[in-house]
Amino acid sequence: MPTANDYICDLAPYQAGLPIEAVARKYGLAPERVIKLASNENPLGPGPKALRAVRASIKDSNRYPEQYALVQALAAKLGVAADMLVVGNGSNDVLDLIARTYLGRGDEAVTAQYAFAMYHIAIQSVGATDRVVPAKNYGHDLEAMRAAISPATKVTWIANPNNPTGTFIPYNEIKEFVAKVPERVIIVLDEAYYDYLDEHDRIDSTRWIRSHPNVIIVRTFSKIYGLAGLRVGYGIASPKVAELLNRVRLPFTSSNVAITAATAALQDHAFLTESRLANRQGREQLLEGLADLGVECLPAFGNFVTFRVQDAAGVNEALLRSGIIVRPLAGYGMVQWLRVTVGLAAENKRFLQAVAQAISVS
CATH of the domain at 321: 3.90.1150.10
Q: Could you count the other beta carbons within 10 Å of the beta carbon of residue 24?
A: 16
- Whether the bond between 2 and the residue before it is cis, its omega within 30 degrees of 0, is no
Q: What's the total number of domains in the chain?
A: 2
Closest CA relative to residue 163, chosen from 352, 327, 18, 335: 327
Phi-psi region of 138 (alpha: psi -120 to 50; beta: other; left: phi over 0): left
147: amino acid identity, one letter: A
Under a CB-based contact definition with an 8 Å cutoff, are residues 180 and 146 in contact?
A: yes
Closest CA relative to residue 196, chosen from 235, 166, 171: 166
CATH of the domain at 191: 3.40.640.10
Structural domain for 275, as ranges: 6-45+270-361
Q: Examine residue 241 and state whether it is found in any structural domain, yes or no.
A: yes
Rounded distance between C-alpha atoms, residue 226 and residue 342, angstroms? 13
Sort 229 into a burial class: Cβ within 10 Å, 0-12 / 13-18 / 19+: exposed
Question: Per residue of the chain (362 residues), what is the pLDDT tens digit?
Answer: 677 887 777 777 777 778 899 999 999 999 999 999 999 999 999 999 999 999 999 998 899 989 999 999 999 999 999 999 999 999 999 999 999 999 999 999 999 999 999 999 999 999 999 999 999 999 999 999 999 999 999 999 999 999 999 999 999 999 999 999 999 999 999 999 999 999 999 999 999 999 999 999 999 999 999 999 999 999 999 999 999 999 999 888 889 999 999 999 999 999 999 999 999 999 999 999 999 999 999 999 999 999 999 999 999 999 999 999 999 999 999 999 999 999 999 999 999 999 999 987 65
- Which of 219, 234, 265 is at the close of a domain? 265
| Letter string b/e over residues 152-179, b meaning 16 or more CB atoms within 10 A of that residue's CB | ebbbbbbbbbbbbbbbbbebeebeebbe
CA angle in degrees (0–180, nearest 5) for 255-238-234: 25
Phi-psi region of 183 (alpha: psi -120 to 50; beta: other; left: phi over 0): alpha
- Which of 265, 299, 332 is at the close of a domain? 265
